Amino acid sequence: MFKSLRAWFSAVIGCFAAAAVFLALLPGVSLGVDEKLAKVIEGQSAKCYVEGQVLGDLVIGARCSVEFILVDRRLADAVREAQFPPQWLVEQVQKLDSVPRGHSLVAVAVRAYKPFDLDMGKLVVGERLSEDLLMTPKDRMLFQLSSGDESFFGVLSPGRIARGSVVKVGYGDDLVDMRVSR
């Protein structure tokens, strides 16, 4: 059928290009994170870099990044309306109804750049967290991360996080401000 490897390769690339054009023309098909979901996350999240130094858009020497996302009804609605929301975020939103009074739910994503041992006692959401504030079963989490590993889990904040507030979040001494939009 194909006289050379080059002809076969060209045909395969042509099929992929045609499929990409077809998907791009379909209404409502997106290949990235939903815009509304991304906007909500941006308005109620923060990311710190453990042992890293941020220089503009560059991060130097970080062992891992720790991202904190406030899980509330606004995020739940955006996740429900998103076409392909991240599964780990869907799992955290499902815990929203079991949050006790006086607390808020925070989704945490740890992404290791170098081998990293996660110590729950070093997590900070307003103040240092204790293990009893963990909402994810320990057997569903990674505590010893190799380069490239990710661990996703939910924690309760020690107090309620209100819209329009600023909360210190981070790991150990690496703290950043999480500004929650109104």
CA distances from 156 to 23, 50, 73, 159 (A): 40, 21, 15, 8
Structural domain contains residue 9: no
- Domain limits for position 167: 35-180
pLDDT of residue 19 exceeding 50, the answer is no
Domain assignment present for residue 61? The answer is: yes
Q: Please indicate, yes or no, if residue 69 is contained in any of the structural domains.
A: yes
1 found inside a domain: no
Report how far residue 30's alpha carbon sits from residue 58's, in angstroms, rounded to the nearest whole number: 28
Tens of pLDDT, residues 74-88:
999 999 999 999 999
> Does residue 145 form part of some domain?
yes
Is residue 3 domain-resident?
Answer: no
Split into its structural domains, the chain has a count of 1
Q: Domain containing 149 — which CATH number?
A: 2.60.40
- How many C-alpha atoms does 175 have within 13 Å on its Cβ side? 14
pLDDT in tens, 106-156: 999 999 999 999 999 999 999 999 999 999 998 889 999 999 999 999 999
Tell me if 21 is assigned to some domain. Answer: no
| Residue 12 in domain | no
